[in-house]
């Protein structure tokens, strides 16, 4: 049975699901309905889709040791093969997960103690877009063996003005894997800027 998490709540993955080895991290969001003020140019602007990009940062002692430890639409698989991005979704349209990242927990090299999942709005500054224009954002973890949802965290705060989001992290603790629901908004304008937070 799936656990609904609150911000800051942690849950054990390996303890609650026997023999868990491969998980799917699903991230989703919808564009909020925008007020359409009069004028042709206003109409054009309202049609600009919000392109959110999900990434996974593999950290060593809580730090990003190398740019090759960032898995995103431009680098779909980690060198270890343990973390894979399933491809870019340009609009967030439709039901369910918008982007997915798979993790083979048993294959994650020992030096990595946590994997952080972030989402940033592509060209947010240029397009004047922010997370206040997004609704129904969530991160969920699924057991890849059974396709059953382990836990889900729905982001419910108002993140107006924030252009990127740290959704959550999977981390090792005393020999088990856990998930931490974070929901921390930032004003980073790109994956590169976001990665500096973990330098």
* Domains of the chain: residue spans and CATH: 3-198 (2.60.60.30)
Radius of gyration of the chain (CA): 17
Is the model's pLDDT at 45 over the cut of 50? no
Q: What is the pLDDT of residues 167-195, one digit of tens each?
A: 999 999 998 999 999 999 999 999 999 99
Q: What is the pLDDT of residues 91-106, one digit of tens each?
A: 545 578 999 999 999 9
pLDDT at res. 44 = 46
Tell me the average pLDDT across 57-73: 96
Match 């040791």 to its residue by tokens. 65
C-alpha separations of 20 from 67, 111, 112 in Å? 28, 20, 18
Tell me the average pLDDT across 128-134: 94
Cβ burial, residue 40 (10 Å; 0-12/13-18/19+): exposed
Pure H helices in 4-130: 40-46, 124-127
Tell me the average pLDDT across 154-162: 94
Separation between Cα atoms, residue 199 and residue 197, nearest integer Å: 6
Tell me the average pLDDT across 126-142: 94
Separation between Cα atoms, residue 153 and residue 140, nearest integer Å: 6
Strand order in the sheet with 10-12: 10-12, 176-186, 164-173, 114-121, 52-59, 70-71
Element (H, E) at 165: strand 164-173
| Length of the chain (residues) | 199
Least confidently predicted of 76-80, 86-90, 142-146:
86-90
pLDDT at res. 35 = 55
Tell me the average pLDDT across 53-72: 96
Tell me the average pLDDT across 24-40: 74
């Amino acid at each position: 049975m799936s656990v609904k998490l609150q911000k800051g709540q942690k849950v054990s993955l390996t303890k609650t699901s026997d023999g868990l080895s491969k998980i799917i991290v699903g991230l989703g969001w919808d564009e909020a309905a925008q007020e359409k003020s009069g004028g042709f140019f206003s109409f054009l602007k309202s049609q600009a889709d919000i392109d959110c990009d999900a990434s996974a940062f593999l950290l060593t002692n809580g730090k990003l040791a190398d740019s090759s430890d960032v898995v995103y639409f431009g680098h779909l698989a980690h060198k270890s093969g343990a973390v894979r991005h399933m491809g870019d979704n340009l609009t967030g349209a439709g039901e369910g997960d918008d982007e997915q990242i798979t993790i083979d927990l048993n294959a994650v090299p020992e030096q990595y103690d946590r994997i952080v999942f972030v989402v940033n709005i592509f060209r947010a500054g240029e397009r004047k877009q922010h997370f206040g224009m997004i609704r129904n954002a969530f991160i969920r973890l699924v057991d890849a063996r059974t396709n059953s949802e382990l836990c889900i965290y729905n982001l419910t705060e108002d993140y107006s003005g924030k252009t990127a989001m740290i959704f959550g992290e999977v981390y090792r603790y005393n020999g088990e894997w856990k998930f931490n629901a974070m929901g921390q908004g930032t004003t980073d304008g790109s994956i590169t800027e976001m990665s500096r937070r973990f330098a």
